[in-house]
Amino acid sequence: MHIAIIGGGAAGLMAAVAASETGDADITVIERNVAPGRKILLTGGGRCNLTTGLSDVREILSRYPRGGRFLSSAMRRFPPAAVRDWFEGHGVPLKTEADNRVFPRSNDGHDVVGVFERLLVPPRARLMTGTSVSGVSRQSDGQFAILLSRRVHPLLVDRLIIATGGQAYRQTGSTGDGYAFASALGHTVTKLAPSLSGLTIAERWPAELSGLSFTRVRLTADRDRRLSWLGPLVFTHQGLSGPVAFALSALVAHHHFDSIQPLALNVDLFPDLSREELTGRLTDLLAKNARHSFRNVLSELVPKRLAAAACECLKLDPNRKAAEASRRELRQTADWLKSIPLHLTGRRAGEEFVTAGGVELSEVNPSTMESKVCPGLFLAGEVLDIDGLTGGFNLQAAWCTGRLAGENAARR
């Protein structure tokens, strides 16, 4: 039996290893780049955030805006703990950081890719790098014909695994070809959208805060609790970035918003305090510093640039004495800090980490990753309608779906 895997990223590489361990099939991994794992090398700023330190599967599955329920079987078969053990067992010592992100101790993604380069060598498997796939089709005898850039005649195989990724990080070769291949074999592809990207906003004043970061902020879009997330935030010249902005971008991936129809957003800089508690803290600060300016006292609670912005947005005199601030103004300031109104106008084009959308999950068996519409075809990784939040969840999905696809493709 001959198995071909289109895509030498995380899902494809893990599928190849799993297939080689399961049966005695001939395995060919087709990768358009000159070396495999290029996107793996970019994750985590090059350090490779390869999975999460979380252990509760329900909690882990909640980190997928799309595809969490579908992932249940694959995740339980190859959960983060097993992924960590697998890499360490193959010579990659790992470390788990305070935010539960897991990295190689070396902080070098090359160590992760190196595992597969050592394992996937003839006769176990063949890595066909620098080779593009221009099309796939199903033959009358059940085989798959793969048209390759470096061959005159198509490659004929018995089983096919599509693990091409999405269309984010296009410079790595993730150009969305897998969607076309899946469609050609009878699959439906859902609406596609960028996810885990920075956000642009309509307001100009936050540009003055560029570079300011906050460790714990809650963003809520459209006053909908389902479109709300908590985490670190960074203000940029164009809008918002950081883990909480990326998470919110995932939650609103399929929402339309632009400069004509912006999406309302509220920023809570003190998510662990009620409005009353924040008002009380501000009142105490003003009472203790009655002779200081309102802006300077507010600067003890938030960064100076934000204090100045608050005064400007609320039309408060920043130089007036703290003792002169009225109760109404104190409540108004606390309300603003708990719910800074902004309007989303777009996503930072070309900066998205993953693609929301993909092959329709109802057309794939979640227990095997085999297509329900095209027997012998398996799909794994981001080409499916699965995407997770930052923190190693997208690579975790790639590892566990790739492993399941490879195991089942190799079973006769």
Give the model confidence (pLDDT) of 5-51 as tens digits. 999 999 999 999 999 999 899 999 999 999 999 989 988 888 999 99
**Residue 307: partners with Cβ closer than 8 Å, 6 or more residues away:** 295, 296, 298, 299, 301, 318
pLDDT of the residue at 173: 46
Domain boundaries, given as residue ranges, for the chain: 2-193+355-409, 197-351
Lowest mean pLDDT among 3-12, 106-115, 352-361: 352-361
pTM for the full model?
A: 0.91
Domain 2-193+355-409 listed as CATH 3.30.465.10: no
| Mean pLDDT to the nearest integer, 394-403 | 98
Per-residue pLDDT reduced to its tens digit, 286-333:
999 988 999 999 999 999 999 999 999 999 999 999 889 899 999 999
Taking residues 376-380, report their average pLDDT.
98
Nearest CA to 290 out of 264, 322, 317 is that of 322
Q: What is the pLDDT of residue 174?
A: 54
